[in-house]
Amino acid sequence: MTSPSSPTPDHASSSGFRQKLPPERIALLREWVECTTRSFKKIGQELGISPATISRYAKEGGWKRPAGPLPRPPSSDATRRPRAAATPPAIRPGPRRRPVPSTHAREHLVERLWSLAERHAESLETQPIERTERSLQPLARLTRTLGEIDKHVRPPLPAREYEADYEIDAPKPRRTLHELRDELAAHLERINREEGDGWEVREWWFKDGAGI
């Protein structure tokens, strides 16, 4: 950038700077000289100033060139529009998941349900025929469900592991759904055969299948 009063500054008189620059222009030129390793020619092409003028300003001002490569001075990018920082998308919280019970808790629950089913099956021996028949269906549903759950909670061991264990340490076989049904049917037949339709006992009764 040349001064309006001096269209050809490099051919003017040798007194003072031949190319007059405003203070802010001189400050920018000094940053380029002291903060970059570019030659005066390249700096002049970037700023529109002749290399001779840059050399004279550097000599008169005592400007020092850097010893190694440095980044471009920040003021040289002042005219560039800064890019807007990308805002990360907001993360929406997902639905809360119910805590999954541990394996030990599930096994304990299945154990309790099996014990309840077996206790009810034994209690049906002393109940009237009408109440026993009403209780048979919900008890069968319970044992069928427990049988399905038991397959997942306690998968069967390989045959080799059964052979390696002693008989005293082997787990006791659990009654299956069919065994429970057969046992209940046998109880009903025995009660009906021995006591008849009017048989009653003053003990704990099932009421319309309740308690299952």
- Domain of 23, CATH number, reads 1.10.10
Last residue of a domain, one of 27, 57, 76: 76
Query: Is the confidence at residue 78, as pLDDT, over 50?
Result: no
Gap between the Cα atoms of 106 and 100, Å rounded? 10
* pLDDT of 13 strictly over 70: no
Residues 173 and 125 in one domain: yes
The answer as to whether 200 is a domain residue is no
Residue 21, domain member (yes or no): yes
Are 181 and 127 contained in the same domain?
A: yes
Please give the pLDDT value at position 9. 42
Do 109 and 66 belong to one domain? no
**To the nearest whole percent, how much of the chain has pLDDT over 70?**
42
Domain interval for residue 56: 16-76
Examine the domain organization and report whether 57 and 140 are in the same domain: no
Residues 109 and 186 both lie in one domain: yes
Residue 210 lies in a domain: no
Q: Do both 146 and 190 map to the same domain?
A: yes
- Are 66 and 122 part of one and the same domain? no
Predicted pLDDT at 154? 59
C-alpha to C-alpha distance for 210 and 212, rounded to whole angstroms: 6
Instruction: List pLDDT tens digits, range 17-62.
Output: 456 788 898 889 899 988 888 888 998 898 888 899 888 998 888 9
In a domain, 6, yes or no: no
65 and 123 assigned to the same domain = no
Residues 131 and 186 in one domain: yes
Does pLDDT of 204 surpass 50? no
Residue 7 confidence (pLDDT): 39
Measured CA distances, 70 to 24, 54, 82, 209 (Å): 22, 19, 21, 90
- What is the total count of domains within the chain? 2
- Residue 71 and residue 122 in one domain: no
**Mean pLDDT value across the chain:** 66
- Does 157 reside within a domain? yes
pLDDT digits (tens, 9 = 90+) for 163-184: 555 555 555 666 676 676 677 6
156 plus 111 within the same structural domain: yes
Over residues 140-162, the pLDDT tens digits come to 777 777 777 666 655 555 555 55
End-to-end CA distance of the chain: 98
Token reading at 17: 């700077």
Q: Please, are residues 138 and 212 in contact by the beta-carbon 8 Å criterion?
A: yes
In a domain, 123, yes or no: yes
| Domain finish residue from 58, 76, 94 | 76
Residue 191 resides in a domain:
yes
Residue 145 in domain: yes
**Burial of 197 per CB tally in 10 Å (0-12, 13-18, 19+):** exposed
Same domain, 63 and 136: no
